[in-house]
Every structure is written in structure tokens, then in C-alpha cells.
Amino acid sequence: MKRISFLLLIGFVMVSCQSMSQSNKKQPNCKIAKVTKTEAEWRKMLTSEQFNVTRKAGTERAFTGEYWDNHAEGTYLCRCCGFELFDSKTKFESGTGWPSFWKPINECSVEVGTDTSYGMVRDEVRCHRCDAHLGHVFNDGPRPTGLRYCMNSASLKFVAKK
Ligand code: FE
């Protein structure tokens, strides 16, 4: 009986955390034609690290990626499908060792869902077009949004402004 109450309590906490985190997000009504490929096709076009991060929701080690310290002006595209995701104007020094932004390039470029892996409830960020895992979004970012999109360099492809 004790065990059942405990499980019910855990379930309740998880559901409330999820609804709490969902209620913070306004999900826009985006109509985007999806890009889909087989696992084998993705593997062919990505390095093993890029595949592991984008298609298997992995995380690169902090301070090891290509872009955490990139200060050039330009646009960050999805590594998998080339969709425009972030503008360098919204990149900031988070000190985390991952490229961090305070907002996506437009409201339909990314999709936010709930990730309950590793015993945490986090808002997972994916490319809206191909569902590539990009990273997570947290509420401790700078103004004006207060958001911190904590991204993996392995999920991004930077194109410098000409
Ligand atoms: Fe994509």
C-alpha cells in the first residue's frame, strides 16, 4: 500500500512538473513540411557525434563543440536539414561551454517538448522541420526573453554573414 501511494505521488509530481513546464510555453501553430529520412540515410550524411546528438538525443561534452566560443556574425542552421534556427545576434556568453541563444530565429524554427530522461524534467528543443535534437531550453537566460536555449554545436551548422 505504501509503495502504491509512493508511486502515485511520483506520478502526480511528474504530471504537475510537465504541465507546469508546458504551460510556460506558447506553442505556435506552425505548418512546416517535415523532412524525414531513415536512420541509415542520416548516418550516411552525419559524423557519428552529429548522429548521436541529433538523432539519438545525445549531448556533446561542454567546451568541446565547434561553436560555444564562436563570435562571428551569421546564421546557425540545422546540421541535418539546413533549416534556419538561430541568429548570432541572439547568442550570448552563458559560461556553460555550449552555444547559447535567448531566442530562435523565428517562432516556428524549433519545437519544444518534454524530456524526462536522467530523472529530470527538461524542455527539449528540436528542429521543427526534421526533428533533430538540438538541446534544451531553460528559464535562466538574459533579457529580453529570460530564456536560455542551450544547444549542441553538433546539431548546428554556422554560416557566416557575407
Ligand atoms: Fe532540421
Q: Work out the average pLDDT over 80-97.
A: 98
Distance 115 CA to ligand 1 centre (A): 18
pLDDT of residue 28: 74
C-alpha–C-alpha distance, residues 128 and 82, integer Å: 11
Dump pLDDT digits (tens) for 15-74.
444 434 443 455 678 899 999 999 999 999 999 999 999 999 999 999 999 999 999 999
Q: Is 150 a catalytic residue?
A: yes
pLDDT band (50, 70, 90) for residue 5: low
Q: What is the pTM of this model?
A: 0.84
- Which residues is 35 bridged to in the sheet? none
Task: Output Rg (C-alpha) for the chain, integer angstroms.
Answer: 17
User: Given the C-alpha cell 528540436, which residue does it identify?
Assistant: 126
Distance 127 CA to ligand 1 centre (A): 5
C-alpha–C-alpha distance, residues 161 and 77, integer Å: 13
- Which residues is 113 bridged to in the sheet? 124
CB 18 within 8 A of CB 114: yes
**1 pLDDT more than 60:** no
In the numeric block, which cell numbers belong to residue 16? 504537475
